[in-house]
Chain A
Amino acid sequence: MGTAPTPPQRPPLQPRTGRERWADEFRRRWFRYATGVLAALVVATALAILWELWDGSGPAWSEWGLSFVWRTEWNPVTGQFGALPFVVGTLLTSAMALAIALPVSLGIAILLTEYAPRRLKDPLIFVVELLAAVPSVVFGLWGIFVLAPLVQRHVIPFLAATPLGLLPIFGEPGSGYTLLTASLILAIMIIPIIASLSREVLMAVPRDQKEGALALGCTRWESMRYVVLSYGRAGIFSAAVLGLGRALGETMATTMTIGNRLGLTFDYFEAGNSMTAIIANELREAASEIHVASLVAIGLILFVLSFVLNTLGRLIIMRVHTRDT
């Protein structure tokens, strides 16, 4: 038997000198204040934007008050302005974009988590994420040269011939620059976000949830549809909210394809306008003070709308979470 190894000997703990204590304290505080200031900057920026929008749109509010939101006239010559056609255009295109993008994105996410073989999976993920990196002006160009003619010649005539054509939101076919065209472009643009977030949500669902359903004699699809998707519903919902947020605020691609027609319309086959498009189109040429103020007021409405939708989304997610746990 050899001797037992001796544990390492270290000197006893020494108290810090006054100077060391002071330095430690200083570093701790300095770090706390520095991060605090940085965080406050974000909040300050948001508030500054809100103030700027409020201040800049003052003349429009004092002229028409809250009725500016639902006034439908927009005439720079007579100085009559109202936001409703643009609010409606934004809501219609974003809602349709989400309605198209959500099922497609879920399909992609399900394929990537459950069915795609490894060889196919990584390239697919790469392509989907690449789609998110395409500049929106490129989407807009593609919309003008490819999608708009396609919509005019094929999509609209086809839809008009189906029973869907009887819906009041689908009217007389016209040009290729329509609410529908903008909705389709937006849908393509938000698919990568919703798909990759949903994929992460589905990947995070514990394996024993899926296996629990399989062990009960469910098919792979049943376990996906009724158990895995249901488990991840809060996450999928937030992916959809984020996608919707992107669609609401998208400017370039929308402006290039929506048709930029003035006047209220609920018809997806007609040219329309959106809050982002009207600002992008007219702000530079706006001559009168009331015209500029009206455009800024539309910006404020958009800001508030995005804020409200996001908050609503978060509240719903929080409710689902607390109910589940």
Chain B
Amino acid sequence: MAEKMSTRGLRVSFGKTEAVKGVDMEIQAGAVTAIIGPSGCGKTTYLRSLNRMHDYTRIAKVTGEVFLGDRNIYDENLSPVELRTRVGMVFQRPNPFPTMSIRDNITFAPKRHGLARGRELEEIVERTLVQSALWDEVKDRLDDPATGLSGGQQQRLCIARALAVRPEVLLMDEPASALDPSATQRIEDLIYELKKDYTIAIVTHNMQQAARVSDYTAFFYMGNLVEFGKTDTLFTNPKEEQTEAYITGRFG
């Protein structure tokens, strides 16, 4: 398997606090990479630097390199706006646009970017909703407001919305932490399906979830990458003592 994204010496600081302290890591193509670690370990900060979401946080400073393929995405010749259509993101709390219908939530970005019109837009709506396993539940009410959906449905809509701009990589920041167990289950099944077509990086504080959905796992602690490896190896036979302490529940 080839790597889809990689970081070299990635550091992120907010004012005087350094949240990510020089991380070298690969994210494999067509696989799910889970990032775990206790609160404040820098896992979300790391994830958000992969699609330049720190750009508009005034005090944030990112140094080091992040590659998508062989391009450094922090290269000033590359457009962060275009980058984000290739590296999409799903957030911790479902954030559908409340003033838009289910359909408009999905067609909003393709329309704005001039990617599709008319029939093609309808196809995008159906394709992405089928992919996000929401189609059967909403196909008869595409014009209803998105906020009428349940939390789990809203999160799947947000996944569909992210897929509508045809990203290569999908970043997920604790996508199920605001959902109940059965909605979580559906999101996890969905991640398993989506990795056939997309590269996925998921931050989670739930170790069972990481073990269930991911192929690779990275353990972060205090802004450093402590250990990275195949998920089954890392969970059954961790090399580092800190990793073992965390996954056995001795801290965090």
Contacts and interface: CB of A to CB of B under 8 A. Distances in A.
Interface of A: 117-118, 206, 208-209, 211-220, 222, 226-227, 230-231, 233, 323-325
A215 B97 contact: no
Contacts of A217: 81-82, 84-85, 109, 113, 165
B199 to A, nearest CB: 16
Contact of B53 (A118, A211, A226): A211
B155 to A, nearest CB: 12
B95 A209 contact: yes
B145 A323 contact: yes
A211 B82 CA distance: 15
A227 B53 CA distance: 17
Q: Which of B99, B112, B161 has its CB near the most chain A CB atoms (within 10 A)?
A: B99
Contacts of B124: none
Contacts of A216: 84-85, 88, 108-109, 161-162, 164-165
A98 B160 CA distance: 40
B109 A218 contact: yes
A118 to B, nearest CB: 7
Nearest to A215: B89
Contacts of B162: 215-216
Query: What band does the interface of chain B fall in when counting residues whose beta carbon is under 8 Å from A?
Result: 20 to 34
B213 interface: no
Contacts of A325: 98, 147
B158 interface: yes
Contacts of B53: 211, 214-215
B51 interface: yes
Contacts of B109: 213, 216-218
A233 B97 CA distance: 13
A126 to B, nearest CB: 20
Given A216-B165, A217-B113, A324 B95 contact: no
B58 interface: yes
B93 interface: yes
Given A208-B95, A215-B51, A117 B58 contact: yes
Contacts of A213: 97, 109
Contacts of A233: 99
A268 B98 CA distance: 40
Contacts of B97: 209, 212-213, 227, 230-231
B251 interface: no
Contacts of A212: 91, 95, 97, 158, 161
Contacts of A219: 81
- Rank and list the top 5 A-B pairs by shortest CB-CB distance, nearest first: A217-B85, A215-B89, A216-B109, A208-B95, A212-B95
A220 B80 CA distance: 11
A218 B58 contact: no
Nearest to A227: B97
A315 to B, nearest CB: 18
B108 A226 contact: yes
B84 A324 contact: no
17 contacts: A208-B91, A208-B92, A208-B95, A212-B158, A215-B91, A215-B162, A216-B88, A216-B109, A216-B161, A216-B162, A217-B85, A217-B109, A226-B112, A231-B99, A323-B145, A324-B147, A325-B98
Q: Which of B81, B100, B161, B164 has its CB near the most chain A CB atoms (within 10 A)?
A: B81
A241 B82 CA distance: 39
A208 B93 contact: yes
B56 A214 contact: yes
B84 A214 contact: yes
A182 to B, nearest CB: 35
A213 B165 CA distance: 12
B98 to A, nearest CB: 5
Contacts of B88: 215-216
Contact of A211 (B85, B91, B112): B91
B72 to A, nearest CB: 19
A192 to B, nearest CB: 26
Given A212-B158, A216-B161, A324 B82 contact: no
A233 B100 CA distance: 13
A214 B91 CA distance: 12
Nearest to B93: A208
A231 B158 contact: no
